[in-house]
Each structure stands twice: as C-alpha cells, then as structure tokens.
Amino acid sequence: MTTPQRSDGLKPARLDPATLKQNFRDAYPPLDAHEATVAADRCYFCHDAPCITACPTEIDIPLFIRQIATGTPEAAARTILSQNILGGMCARVCPTETLCEQACVREAAEGKPVEIGQLQRFATDTLMAAGTHPFTRAASTGKRVAVVGAGPAGLACAHRLAMHGHDVVIFEARPKAGGLNEYGIAAYKAADDFAQRELEWLLQIGGIEIRHGEKLGAQISLATLQAEYDAVFLGMGLGGVNALGIPGEDKDHAEDAVDFIAELRQAEDLAALPIGRRVVVIGGGMTAIDAGVQAKLLGAEEVTIVYRRGQDAMSASGHEQEHAQHKGVRLICNAAPVGIEGNGSLTGVTFAYTETRDGKLVVTDDTFTLPAGQVFKAIGQTLSGAPDGLTLERGKIAVSDSGATSVAGVWAGGDCATGGDDLTVTAVAEGRDAAEDIHRTLMA
Amino acid sequence: MADLTTDFLGIKSPNPFWLASAPPTDKEYNVRRAFEAGWGGVVWKTLGAEGPPVVNVNGPRYGAIWGADRRLLGLNNIELITDRPLETNLEEIARVKADYPDRAMIVSIMVPCDEESWKAILSRVAETGADGIELNFGCPHGMSERGMGAAVGQVPEYVEMVTRWCKMYYDKPVIVKLTPNIADIRVPARAAKNGGADAVSLINTINSITSVNLDAMSPEPMIDGRGTHGGYCGPAVKPIALNMVAEIARDPATAGLPISGIGGVTTWRDAAEFMALGAGNVQVCTAAMTYGFKIVQEMISGLSQWMDEKGYKSTSDFVGRAVPNVTDWQYLNLNHITKARINPDLCIKCGRCYAACEDTSHQAISMSPDRVFEVQDDECVACNLCVNVCPVEDCITMETLAPGQTDERTGKVVEEAYANWTTHPNNPMAKAAE
Ligand SMILES: Cc1cc2nc3c(=O)[nH]c(=O)nc-3n(C[C@H](O)[C@H](O)[C@H](O)COP(=O)(O)OP(=O)(O)OC[C@H]3O[C@@H](n4cnc5c(N)ncnc54)[C@H](O)[C@@H]3O)c2cc1C
Ligand SMILES: Cc1cc2nc3c(=O)[nH]c(=O)nc-3n(C[C@H](O)[C@H](O)[C@H](O)COP(=O)(O)O)c2cc1C
Ligand code: SF4
Ligand code: SF4
Ligand code: SF4
C-alpha cells in the first residue's frame, strides 16, 4: 500500500515499489561493447594528454581508451587500476565534467568531450565481471602497517602496501568497509551493491585484514598503533558535521544530510524509509544535491535546496545542479537560514536573503519561510577525533605532498588531510602516494 | 540545374552514375529497382558461357574492414560470375532494356579464352538489345584459376586478342574492364586499344586478404576453417583506382580512349574526381551494396550543385580537366616552397602535430608548457604530415613563400622561376640549364 504523495508528516512508501526501483537504479547505464568502441574512437590519443593531467590519479587515459578501441578492455582496465585501484567507483562518481572531461580537447573543440568516465567504467566492469584480480603481491617484507579507516584513501593505501609485500591491518569504526562509497555516495551512482563488490574484488590481492568496530580514539589509540606497527596511515575522513547555529536546530526531523544518505544507502527496503512531504535541504555542495535528489526520488512532493551564496559559487558542479533540477528539485540561492519553525514539530524554515558587500556575505532583513516537515543540513563535514600531537591546518591534518604528517611514522590522506578536493579520486591518489612513501621509508 | 546527361561511346544515360557489374545488377528485380531509384545505367552481372552455371560457396562470401562506428571502408568478396542460367539472364536483360530505353544497359561477359565461345555468346547478347558489352578481364579469384578473368587481363596479348574477336562479332561498343592486379596498368589498356576497344573500365577488385581469424588461424571470410584471397573494393581502393585511371588518361598511347571509372566511388565528389581525371562516367558497386540504391540521389544532387557552382553546363565540361596537371615527380617545381602554419584560434591543443613531427618528421614544431604549438620555419620541410594528423580541418595549412622571401631552413631566397629535378645540380643526369 502506498501513501499518497500529498499526505503530511514523515511517511514511508510514498511511491510504489516499482517506481522506487526505477528511481534508484543505475543513473547512467553502462555502455555496451559497440557504444564503447564508438566512444573510444573519438579519442585523439593526444600527446602529453591534458586529460591525464586533470585526473588526480593521473590515469593514462589515451592509452586505456586505445586499448578499448582495439578490443582489449581487460588491458585497459589494468592501465586504469594500476594508477587507481578504485577505478570502477571513480568511473561512477567522479565529477568528470570538472576533471578529465573538462580538460579533454574535444570539449574545447566541440563541447562534447570523449566519454572518459563511461569508458573507464566499461573497462573496469569488463575486468571485474571476469572476476580476476590483475595484481599480485611482491615477496613478503615482514613489515606491518596499520591503516585507520576503510574508505577510498585507506583502501587505496592498503592495496598498494599489500602489493609491495607489506601486511596491512585496517581499523574501521563502522560495520562495513568502503567509507563514503558505502555510506555516502548517492545510491543511483553506486547501484547494485557496487561498493561491496569492488571491495571484495580489491581484497583479492591478499595481505589486508579489516577489523571492524575498532575506532581510533575509542578501542585503539595512535600510540598503540605506532608501537605495534611499522607505520600508520590515517584515512578516517570527516566524521563531524557543521551546525547551523540557529534556533530550532534541535527539533525532530532537522537532520544531518549525511545521516539521511547513510540510512538510505543501508536500507534493505526503500519503501520502508520514511520521508517528508516537503523537504528543505540547506547547503550547496554534492551532499546537498544528493540529499535533495534522493529525497525527491523517495517520493517527497516538494524538495528545495537553499544555498546562501550565488549559484556559481556552489561547489556542486553545473552538471550536478542540472541533474537535481531535472529530477524536479528546486534551487534557491542567496538565502541563509535564520530559524527552524514549529511549535513542537517542525513546520518550516525561515530564510533571509543575502547580499555580498565588500566581498562579505551579509544577511538582509528580507525573509521568507518555506513550509517543510523535514530539513536536511548539508553545510559541510569536519574532521573529528584527530589524534593529539598531529599538526592541523585549516581544520585538517597537515601533510606533505607524499602524505607524511608532522609525526614521524604517521601518514594521512583523503578528506581528513590537507591537499586536494574532497573527492573519492583524490582520496585514492593520496592513499596510493602515501603508500609509496611508506614503502620507500620502510625499505630504506 | 546542371545537365547530368552523359554520352559515353554514343550510349546516352540521364546521369553518369552506373552500377558496376556485381550483385546489385545480378537480376531483373534489382536492376528495375535501381532504375526506379535513378541510376543512369547498369553493367549486368557477368554472364558465363552456355551450360551449367558456376556455383558459389555456400559460406560467407564477404570480408570487410571498418572505421569508426563500423563504417565500412573496404569490402572483399569471393563471389564468382552469375550463378544463374544464361537464358534467364538474357531474357531479363531484354525485358528490362525494353522497359527502360533511356538507361544504359551494358552486358558483362566472361567466357573461356577461345574464339568460338566468345562468338557464341556475343550473338546471343546482341539479341537482347543491350547498348554494349563489357569484357570482364578482372575477376581475381575462382574464375582466374580457370583461365578467365584476371588470368586474361594479366596477359596483354590475350586482352588484345579477345577484344579483337569481340569487335569482329559484335556491332555495339566494347568496353574492356581491367584488373588492377598488374604492375603497369597502361600495358593492358594499350592492348585493349590495339584490339579495337571502344573504352576501358577500371578497376576491378584487388587481390586481398582482409583479416585473419586469430582463433581459427584462417583468413576471413572463412569457409569451414579455410579462406582464400578475395577481391577488394570500396572506399579504401579509391586512391589506387584514381591513379590507374590517371595513368591511362595521360599515356600518349591511350590518350583520348574513353574510360569508365570504377573503384570506391561512394559520393558525388568521388565521381567528380574520377571524371576530372578523365573518366567519362563512373560505376559503383560497394556503395550501393552498403547503403542501397537510394544513394544515387545524393550523387545526382551533389554533382549538379557542384557543377552549378563551378559553371559547368554538362559533364563533358570537366571530364579530364585535371589530367594535364598529373605529371611525373621530376617535373614538380622545386622552387615552390611552403611552410606549415598553425592557426592558434582553431587549435584544440591535442599535440598530435607535435608528436608526429617530433617523433617521425623534422622536429619542426615546438610545444610550450601551456600547450601552444608553433612551427619552426628553420626546420619545417613542409612535408604536410602535421596537416594530415591534425584532427581539426584547416587548423594547419601550408603557406607558400613568395619569391624574394627567405626560406629559413635553407637560408636561400625563394626564386620566382620554375625549376625541377631534371636541371637540379644534385641530379647526376641533369641537363645543363640554358
Ligand atoms: C553525501 C556525499 C556524496 C559524495 N559524493 C561524491 C561523488 O559523487 N563523487 C566524489 O568524487 N566524491 C563524493 N563525495 C566525497 C567522497 O565521498 C570523499 O571525498 C571520499 O569518500 C573520501 O575518502 P576518505 O577515505 O578520505 O574518507 P571516507 O570515505 O569518509 O572514509 C573514512 C573511513 O574511516 C572510518 N573512520 C572514521 N573515523 C574513524 C576512526 N576514528 N577510527 C576508525 N575508523 C574511522 C569511516 O567509518 C570510514 O569508513 C561525497 C561525499 C558525501 C558526504
Ligand atoms: C560481390 C562482388 C561481386 C562482383 N562481381 C563482379 C562481376 O561479376 N564482374 C565484374 O566485372 N566485376 C565484379 N565485381 C567488381 C565490381 O564490379 C567493381 O569493379 C569493384 O567492386 C570496384 O568498385 P566499388 O569499389 O564501387 O565496389 C564484383 C564486386 C563485388 C563486391
Ligand atoms: S584529451 Fe580527450 S581526446 Fe585527448 S587523449 Fe584525453 S580523452 Fe583522448
Ligand atoms: S610540415 Fe612536416 S616538417 Fe613541417 S611542421 Fe609539419 S610535420 Fe613538421
Ligand atoms: S594537431 Fe592541430 S589541433 Fe592538435 S595541437 Fe596540433 S595544430 Fe593543434
């Protein structure tokens, strides 16, 4: 039985199961072999290709595309995975329109880049479907490395270390590994349990043990890890969230967007997940977009994303903004929340329009209230529980280009560390590079 | 609109686009539909001698190579001449010709290399009312193993002899279709002319193996685990065909001999090129086999638009116009000096020109850290490779240095006078310049 879309309150099953299934399937279906050949043929095999430079993991894009074009997608996958072990996930979640595809010369030429992301997916899917793992471990070095966090940074680091012959133990606070691949990425980007499938495939390298329910700062401490292991890598992401700091924030159904998404990602049955009739999302990043779109796909009648600055300042890419609008999500810019309304239960959010004066964002007296039964806060994640003794910079663990922290023997990468954007692909690059530095250090 | 009517050997057709002797012209059903679609004429699929017809393989007959999006670039076949009874073909030819008097109907023939066989079939063909015949001296597979087709076309004496028989026993025009599987195409063309041929048509298909099945270790198309060479045709063979047509057109021994151009004609432009090199009309096979008969509409509209733009009233206005400009290497002007020029506004910074020139040419393109590509005149030999590999049309062009300018590569001032290899000081056989 479905709840009509217009009934108030938080209700499950606003849409019938078939529609839900349709809404949450793969948003960008994979290319078939012929489509891949055609797409691959568009690549010019550029000299010192700009797309490679634009990829945080520096995948040799022209080479892998040529390998697809010549009928060897497995070899293409190897080219990809040797630089980016989570090439399968990155193919699905990378904002390619601001990375490789933006730099593609065919974007400059005709506004239609080579479909690098989709081709990467074609290659990695082909290899993973074969169930093979193309890498083997070097002879054991006898060295042991502790990795904190089984997100993209931790997994990339662990895989590269294992390949070099080190033994790795990953300490992971949550019951499942994958980090935001498992708990954060929009469901329609990682459909069909891809995060877990990729994880299992990655672990085929061997030499990586994951211990769940072991949280740094609770069950374990940095000091013990330093004592028991030859090196430590911290890849714990951003566990905290920013608060709005406005009246009414503590009301029921004023939630953190990341929690909503995590719950949605873990839901066995999407029809059992309650969602409001009118939903307001506060923020302008990828998290805001994903929360808004998924609320809409769950059956919310009205979803509005409100961002305090202008649309061009949103950190979500133009492509993602369009995707949200295409799904029927409304975008309001230049408005900041000033109060969450409701006597007891939440009834709406009041916003004030903002202006930029002398480069500063100023809240005006001009206000409006959006009726809402549910609010998602998506105004940024923060580092929480960083071990004492590490130098921080702008709220993140300060690291060198190769991921070394201020403490000898401790490396960090991914969202919790400085350097690069908060993206899956950046986390992979940083985890990999830290592993190389750890390897060099341990073998010196 | 330009008048596309062509008169080839006195045979009139509403346009210069004929279907070559091949599957598209194999039977009445096809040819009627081709005429309805607008084709100017057909060369009927090659007839063999009276008696049990040849048989074709019962496995795949074609192999192919493709470009992007499976665009067919080259086709290879191991089909033989018609596998239908002679009587059936003759009846159909007569019927269709009677119904389409304004279209050209040519009958292709291949019979054993003896006078009696040719004499016998020629009288039968004459009865159909067809406008002429084409002698198939080209089929490179199967028939040649039986002493026909290319086996005749490769021996100039046979070409001349058979042509002479045909002129003796048949009143209407005789076209000799040449095989390209020969070192010098001018030799059989001269032989045909000496035998009295009214025209030559070329090219027939080129000996080829299109691909090898790497699992079965057999050439494709594969029949029960084995393959044989086939005849290659389609867009890929056009450059070879154009050269052969030009060679015959500019050979003093055959100058003026009418030519029907064949080989890879796919668009109106291809047709115009063949005709500019001396072909009075063109024949098409693969393009029709790939896209169907309808393509002739594009050929007709394209050719007439181009003729209007150029002010050509009839096809004869431009047939052969490019022939005087086909010359030997030794007569090319060595004082004509060009340099590659990259248009930075069009450049999309792919770096292909750089890779090509740096790795395989003359290290004449520089690349800056922000990917600005520039030609270094002191190194550029004007080979044109960068132009050919650049993905953007007209992004790199060749600029001619005016007389008086200095070629930075050689340090020499460009001379106005034409000078070629025959008088060049480095040529041991140079004639002293007067
Ligand atoms: C909603 C959302 C959508 C996103 N969408 C995209 C997208 O489409 N494309 C894209 O490129 N990026 C996206 N991102 C960003 C991307 O997910 C992150 O940049 C990336 O996951 C960072 O990887 P990481 O390994 O540094 O951290 P995480 O993925 O956050 O992994 C950290 C891991 O460490 C564990 N952990 C945390 N603290 C401890 C501790 N104290 N002890 C032990 N374990 C701990 C966590 O449980 C987790 O498993 C999105 C982020 C969010 C929040
Ligand atoms: C399947 C096939 C069968 C052919 N059969 C004949 C034939 O019987 N007689 C003949 O003179 N040429 C034959 N040809 C050659 C064509 O007439 C033509 O010369 C050749 O294909 C080149 O033209 P194209 O590039 O337009 O195809 C055949 C070609 C093909 C593809
Ligand atoms: S920039 Fe585009 S065309 Fe050039 S190599 Fe990369 S994907 Fe290919
Ligand atoms: S014309 Fe040849 S030599 Fe000159 S720049 Fe181009 S590739 Fe180099
Ligand atoms: S090949 Fe053409 S488009 Fe590419 S860099 Fe050279 S000039 Fe520019």
DSSP string, A28-55: SPPP-HHHHHHHHHT----TT-HHHHHS
Contacts 24+ apart (CB under 8 A), A113-116: A114/A39, A114/A40, A114/A42, A114/A43, A114/A51, A114/A65, A115/A31, A115/A39, A115/A42, A116/A51, A116/A61, A116/A65
The identity of residue B15, as a single letter, is N
The CATH number linked to A87 is: 1.10.1060.10
Tokens at A429, concatenated: 């690059």
Residue of B nearest to A111 (CA): B348
Express each pLDDT in A74-90 by its tens digit.
999 999 999 999 999 99
Contacts of B233 (CB under 8 A, 6+ apart): B74, B75, B76, B77, B205, B206, B263, B264, B285, B286
pLDDT value, residue A62: 97
Tell which residue, A93, A140, A7, has the closest CA to residue A442: A140
| B364 pLDDT higher than 60 | yes
pLDDT value, residue A9: 84
**Least CB-CB distance to A38: which of B68, B348, B371?**
B68
Residues of B in contact with A109 (CB under 8 A): 348, 391-392
Whether A158 maps to a domain, the answer reads yes
Of A345, A377, A409, the domain-final residue? A377
Whether A7 maps to a domain, the answer reads no
* A287 and A348 share one domain: yes
ipTM of the complex model: 0.80
CB of B386 within 6 A of ligand 4: the answer is: yes
Express each pLDDT in A245-301 by its tens digit.
999 888 899 999 999 999 999 999 999 999 999 999 999 999 999 999 999 999 999
* Number of cross-chain residue pairs from A and B with Cβ atoms under 8 Å apart: 37
* A225 and A259 share one domain: no
Contact state of B350 with A48 under an 8 Å Cβ cutoff? no
* A283 and A317 share one domain: yes
- Number of residues written out for chain A: 444
Mean pLDDT of B364-374: 97
Chain B touched by A71 (CB under 8 Å): no
Tokens at A250, concatenated: 């503590």
Ligand nearest to the CA of B358: 4
Tokens at A275, concatenated: 């969602």
Residue B355 CA to chain centroid, in angstroms?
33
CB A179 within 8 A of CB A152: yes
Question: Under DSSP, is residue A114 helix (H, G, I), strand (E, B) or coil?
Answer: coil
* A262 and A344 share one domain: yes
- d(Cα B39, Cα B17) in Å, to the nearest integer? 6
In a mutational test of the A interface, the residue from B348, B365, B366, B395 whose CB has the highest number of chain A CBs within 10 Å is: B348
- d(Cα B48, Cα B52) in Å, to the nearest integer? 9
Alpha carbon of A46: minimum distance to chain B alpha carbons (Å): 5
Question: Cβ of A297: how many Cβ atoms within 10 Å?
Answer: 25
Whether A137 maps to a domain, the answer reads no
Whether A5 maps to a domain, the answer reads no
**Per-residue 3-state assignment (H helix, E strand, C coil) for chain B:** CCECCEEECCEEECCCEEECCCHHHCCHHHHHHHHHHCCCEEEEEEECCCCCCCCCCCCCCEEEEECHHHCEEEEEECCCCCCCCHHHHHHHHHHHHHHCCCCEEEEEECCCCCHHHHHHHHHHHHCCCCCEEEEECCCCCCCHHHCCCHHHHCCHHHHHHHHHHHHHHCCCCEEEECCCCCCCCHHHHHHHHHCCCCEEEECCCEEECCEEECCCCEEECCECCECCCEEEECHHHHHHHHHHHHHHHHCCCCCCCCEEEECCCCCHHHHHHHHHCCEEEEEECHHHHHHCCCHHHHHHHHHHHHHHHHCCCEHHHCCCCCHHHCCCHHHCCCCCCEEEEECCCCCCCCCHHHHHHHHHCCCCEEECCCCCEEECCCCCCCCCHHHHHCCCCCCEEEEECCCCCEECCCCEECCCCCCCHHHCCCCCCCCCCC
Least confident of A164-168, A356-360, A399-403, B167-171: A356-360
| B193 pLDDT higher than 90 | yes
Ligand nearest to the CA of A50: 3
Tell which residue, A240, A288, A239, has the closest CA to residue A260: A288
Alpha carbon of B63: minimum distance to chain A alpha carbons (Å): 18
**Least CB-CB distance to B391: which of A37, A44, A47?**
A44
Residue of B nearest to A106 (CA): B348
- d(Cα B162, Cα B133) in Å, to the nearest integer? 13
Question: Ligand 4: distance of its center to the CA of B65 in Å?
Answer: 30
Contacts 24+ apart (CB under 8 A), A106-111: A106/A42, A106/A44, A106/B348, A108/B348, A108/B349, A109/B348, A109/B391, A109/B392
Contact state of A41 with B69 under an 8 Å Cβ cutoff? yes
Contact state of A106 with B349 under an 8 Å Cβ cutoff? no
Whether A18 maps to a domain, the answer reads no
Strands B174-177 and B132-136 come out as parallel
Alpha carbon of B267: minimum distance to chain A alpha carbons (Å): 23
- d(Cα A375, Cα A252) in Å, to the nearest integer? 9
Residue for token pair 């061997």: A206
Residues of B in contact with A49 (CB under 8 A): 350-351
Whether A6 maps to a domain, the answer reads no
Contact state of A109 with B391 under an 8 Å Cβ cutoff? yes
Contact state of B352 with A50 under an 8 Å Cβ cutoff? no
Residue of A nearest to B390 (CA): A44
Express each pLDDT in A20-38 by its tens digit.
999 999 988 999 999 999 9
* A98 and A159 share one domain: no
Q: Which domain holds residue A334?
A: 241-377
Alpha carbon of B393: minimum distance to chain A alpha carbons (Å): 11
- d(Cα B14, Cα B20) in Å, to the nearest integer? 16
Per the DSSP assignment, residues forming a β-bridge with B63 are B76
Atom 4 of ligand 5, residue of closest alpha carbon: B350
Mean pLDDT of A157-179: 98
The widest CA-to-CA distance across chain A, in whole angstroms, is: 68
* A245 and A372 share one domain: yes
Residue of A nearest to B368 (CA): A48
**Least CB-CB distance to B348: which of A34, A37, A109?**
A109
Of A347, A377, A407, the domain-final residue? A377
Whether A1 maps to a domain, the answer reads no
pLDDT value, residue A344: 82
Question: Ligand 1: distance of its center to the CA of A194 in Å?
Answer: 16
**Least CB-CB distance to B350: which of A34, A37, A46?**
A46
Contact state of A105 with B348 under an 8 Å Cβ cutoff? yes
Contact state of A38 with B69 under an 8 Å Cβ cutoff? yes
Chain B touched by A32 (CB under 8 Å): no
Contacts of B270 (CB under 8 A, 6+ apart): B238, B264, B282
Contact state of A38 with B354 under an 8 Å Cβ cutoff? no
Phi, psi dihedrals of residue A170, rounded to the nearest 5°: -100, 130
Task: Report the percent of chain B where pLDDT is more than 70.
Answer: 99
| B266 pLDDT higher than 90 | yes
Mean pLDDT of the residues in chain B: 95
Residues of A in contact with B69 (CB under 8 A): 37-38, 41
Mean pLDDT of B338-353: 97
Residue B347's pLDDT band, with cuts at 50, 70 and 90, is: very high
Question: Cβ of A255: how many Cβ atoms within 10 Å?
Answer: 15
* A187 and A246 share one domain: no
In a mutational test of the B interface, the residue from A38, A42, A46, A70 whose CB has the highest number of chain B CBs within 10 Å is: A46
Contact state of A46 with B351 under an 8 Å Cβ cutoff? yes
Interface of A with B in 50-69 (CB under 8 A): 50
Of A329, A347, A377, the domain-final residue? A377
Express each pLDDT in A123-147 by its tens digit.
999 999 998 999 999 999 999 999 9
CB A109 within 8 A of CB B390: no
| B433 pLDDT higher than 60 | no
Whether A8 maps to a domain, the answer reads no
Crossing angle of the two packed helices A33-41 and A116-129, in degrees rounded to 10: 140
Question: Under DSSP, is residue A196 helix (H, G, I), strand (E, B) or coil?
Answer: helix
* A192 and A277 share one domain: no
The CA distances from residue B288 to A62, A179, B104, B235, B241, in Å, are 36, 58, 17, 12, 18
Question: Cβ of B77: how many Cβ atoms within 10 Å?
Answer: 26
Question: Cβ of A212: how many Cβ atoms within 10 Å?
Answer: 14
Express each pLDDT in A302-339 by its tens digit.
999 999 999 999 999 999 999 999 999 999 999 999 99
DSSP H or E segment with residue A279? strand A278-282
Using CB distances shorter than 6 Å, the residues near ligand 2 are: B 20-23, 45-46, 75, 77, 79, 81, 108, 136, 138-139, 177, 204-205, 233-234, 237, 262-265, 284-287
The CATH number linked to A254 is: 3.50.50.60
pLDDT value, residue A2: 55
Q: Determine whether B350 is an active site residue.
A: no
Residue B70's pLDDT band, with cuts at 50, 70 and 90, is: confident
Tokens at A414, concatenated: 């991914």
Residue of A nearest to B356 (CA): A47
Mean pLDDT of A365-393: 95
Residue of A nearest to B370 (CA): A50
The CA distances from residue A172 to A179, A213, A219, A290, B151, in Å, are 9, 6, 11, 25, 79
Mean pLDDT of the residues in chain A: 95
* A344 and A295 share one domain: yes
* DSSP one-letter code for A302: E
Number of domains in chain A: 3
* A51 and A113 share one domain: yes
* A66 and A181 share one domain: no
pLDDT value, residue B150: 81
Chain B touched by A106 (CB under 8 Å): yes
CB A7 within 8 A of CB A172: no
Alpha carbon of A402: minimum distance to chain B alpha carbons (Å): 24
CB B168 within 8 A of CB B209: no
Contact state of B349 with A50 under an 8 Å Cβ cutoff? yes
| B432 pLDDT higher than 80 | no
Question: Ligand 3: distance of its center to the CA of A107 in Å?
Answer: 9
Residue A3's pLDDT band, with cuts at 50, 70 and 90, is: low
> What's the half-sphere exposure (Cβ side, CA atoms, 13 Å) at B364?
22
CB A95 within 8 A of CB A169: no
Chain B touched by A425 (CB under 8 Å): no
Q: Is it true that the peptide bond before B221 is cis, omega within 30 degrees of 0?
A: yes
Question: Under DSSP, is residue A212 helix (H, G, I), strand (E, B) or coil?
Answer: strand
Query: Ligand 4, closest atom to CA B384?
Result: 1
Burial group, residue A48, by CB count within 10 angstroms (0-12, 13-18, 19+): middle
Considering the entire predicted model, what is its pTM? 0.88
* A367 and A279 share one domain: yes
pLDDT value, residue B167: 98
Residue for token pair 């007959």: B61
DSSP H or E segment with residue A154? helix A152-163
| A209 pLDDT higher than 60 | yes
Express each pLDDT in B201-248 by its tens digit.
999 999 999 999 999 999 999 999 999 999 999 999 999 999 999 999
Tell which residue, A12, A62, A24, A11, has the closest CA to residue A41: A62
Alpha carbon of A71: minimum distance to chain B alpha carbons (Å): 13
Express each pLDDT in A233-244 by its tens digit.
999 999 999 999
